[in-house]
Each structure stands twice: as structure tokens, then as C-alpha cells.
Amino acid sequence: MMAAEMPKFDPLHAGTAGPASAPLAAPAPELPAEGIIRLPSFVVHDQKLPTELEVMTPEELTRYAMNKYLGPEDGIDRGVLNLANVRQFWNKIPVLGSFPLLGFETNEARALRLYHEDVRRQEQADLRYMSRFEKDTGRAAEAGAMNHAIQAGFPTGPRQSSGIQVRPGDPPN
């Protein structure tokens, strides 16, 4: 009996039925032919979450770099060829271990060096891609300035990590 007296529920007009809900009601969105209600577009202005590499501790980053660039602990590079190196033996000498030994690096230092070189190359490749995009969109002046900045920020030449500096006129060894 009560069901016959009640009006049929209409979800599209539910918020506009009473005067109490009128101040809270938003403008009705346009309804497409399919009857799908679409929300208005909006842009989220929030910082991106940090990546996995950005939240790693230095020890975890070292472990990650060693696994990625030197292979597993029981592999050829870390497990057989470089199980122990001169730098590790040098560090075990009580007094002399506190002084740096030039020309030799530990597996950890080598893995971190390779990691940072890879990050540097990736940043350089990203900037060069952006420069090509600028050039392709007809902004050659900006692309030229960007290429100049890339070369200034990423100089090509001998590595400085080994402690031995090679000048351009020196013969190769």
C-alpha cells in the first residue's frame, strides 16, 4: 500500500527535491547520450612520490649498485675475480688503513661510481631528448642554447675518479 503512494526514485534529481539541499547542490553536469555522468576535469597540483632509489639509505644504495653493476655475490665478478682486492687488504692494516691508497678502489666504491656514471648518462640523454624536441618544434635557438648548456654541464673528457689526469697532448698508454 505504501509503495503505491511513494514516487519512483530518480537518482539524477535526488539532490534537487527539497529546499534544504538547494544550497549544497552543484550545477548539474551535462549528460551524454549514453546516460553516463562525467565529472569535471581537474589538475592535481601535488608533488610526485619519491622513487625507490630516492628513499634508499646509503648502505641499501650500495647494495643495489653492487647487485646491478657487479652482479650477484656468488657471481664471476664479485664472487671469484674480486672477492678480495688490494684496497680491502690495505684497509685491514691498523695504521696504514686510514690513509688513502691511490689507484685502487673497493667493490663498493666501484659499484657506486658505475651507478653515478649511469645516472649522469641518463640525465644527459634526457636533456638531449628535450633539446631535440625543441629543435623539432621549430625552436632552434632554444635547442642550441640547451645543447651548449648540456656540454658545459656534462664535459666530455678523461675520468677524474682514478686520480690520474690525462691531458689532451699526452700519448695513450
For residue 17, tell me if it sits in a domain.
Answer: no
For residue 5, tell me if it sits in a domain.
Answer: no
For residue 166, tell me if it sits in a domain.
Answer: no
Q: Look at the chain and report how many structural domains it folds into.
A: 1
Name the residue range of residue 121's domain. 58-153
Is the whole model's pTM more than 0.85, yes or no? no
Query: Is 85 in contact with 99 (CB distance < 8 Å)?
Result: no
Cα(134)–Cα(138) distance, integer angstroms:
7
For residue 13, tell me if it sits in a domain.
Answer: no
Query: Is 29 in contact with 39 (CB distance < 8 Å)?
Result: yes
- Per-residue model confidence as pLDDT tens for the chain (173 residues): 566 677 777 766 655 545 554 455 555 555 566 777 778 888 888 888 999 988 999 999 999 999 999 888 887 777 667 666 776 777 777 777 667 766 777 788 889 999 999 999 998 888 888 888 888 888 888 888 888 888 887 766 544 444 444 344 444 43
For residue 84, tell me if it sits in a domain.
Answer: yes
Alpha helices in the chain (DSSP H): 2-5, 58-65, 86-92, 107-136, 140-153
How many helices (H) and strands (E) would you count in the chain?
Answer: 5, 0
Query: Is 107 in contact with 66 (CB distance < 8 Å)?
Result: yes
